[in-house]
Amino acid sequence: MKVTVDPDRCQGHARCWEICPEVFSLDEVGHSVVTSGDVPSALEAEVTKAAANCPERAITVSLAQPEPPLPAPSPPPGTSAVAL
């Protein structure tokens, strides 16, 4: 999971920091700063809760992209694939 805060939307309500200080900190004017954009799995629930509780909807969470599937192996030379 990745998380970002839109600095143009953040108004400094600090709910994110109260819910998950391991990921969110506050700058000198009280606006949220993400300290770790890659969220450890143990903190995903708290980050999701923080995003849901931001009154400005300034927090965006996104799931990591799954690995693309590997291509099917080619048949060994001298053989042909048989469809079943």
Q: Which positions lie near ligand F3S, rule CB under 6 A?
A: 5, 10-16, 31-32, 54, 56, 58-59
The least distance separating ligand F3S from the CB of residue 75, rounded to whole angstroms, comes to: 55
- Number of Cβ within a 10 Å radius of residue 55: 8
Nearest residue (CB) to ligand F3S, 39 versus 58: 58
83 neighbors 59 (Cβ within 8 angstroms):
no
3-state secondary structure of 60: strand
Nearest residue (CB) to ligand F3S, 18 versus 38: 18
Nearest residue (CB) to ligand F3S, 18 versus 75: 18
Q: How far apart are CA 27 and CA 33, in angstroms?
A: 6
